[in-house]
């Protein structure tokens, strides 16, 4: 029982030391933090992301996943082929 008590007291002291040391370190960083802040200015107008429109539809009999992959707008589900 005394070994368990010693271990628990030791762990409690180590936790106290670690917590107190970490708060001191945080306080030191916060003191000089105002001088370190360098925020870039935001652009006046947001630039839209554009994707090149190079999509080509699949011909009859070619592989497809969705209906809009085919020129005919019809994709046969089980065979994954464009149909009329």
| Statement to judge: residues 81 and 63 lie in one domain | yes
CA distances from 31 to 17, 19, 39 (A): 22, 19, 18
| Statement to judge: residues 9 and 35 lie in one domain | yes
| Statement to judge: residues 52 and 80 lie in one domain | yes
Q: State the Cα–Cα distance between residues 74 and 81, nearest whole angstrom.
A: 9
What is the share, in percent, of the chain residues with pLDDT greater than 70? 71
What sign does the CA torsion over 65, 70, 74, 76 have? negative
Query: What SS3 state is found at 82?
Result: strand
H helix intervals, the chain: 2-36
Digit-by-digit pLDDT tens for the chain (84 residues) are: 677 889 899 998 988 887 776 655 555 555 555 565 667 777 677 677 776 667 789 999 999 999 999 999 999 989 999 998
Report the number of distinct structural domains present in the chain: 2
Give me the domain span that covers residue 77: 44-84
| Statement to judge: residues 26 and 56 lie in one domain | no
| Statement to judge: residues 4 and 20 lie in one domain | yes
């Amino acid at each position: 029982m005394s070994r368990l008590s010693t271990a628990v007291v030791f762990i409690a002291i180590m936790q106290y030391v670690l917590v107190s040391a970490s708060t001191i370190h945080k306080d030191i960083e916060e003191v000089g933090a105002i001088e370190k802040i360098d925020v870039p200015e935001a652009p006046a107008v947001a630039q839209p992301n554009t994707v090149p429109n190079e999509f080509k539809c699949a011909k009859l009999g070619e592989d497809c996943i969705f209906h809009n992959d085919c020129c005919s707008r019809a994709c046969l589900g089980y065979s994954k082929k464009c149909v009329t």
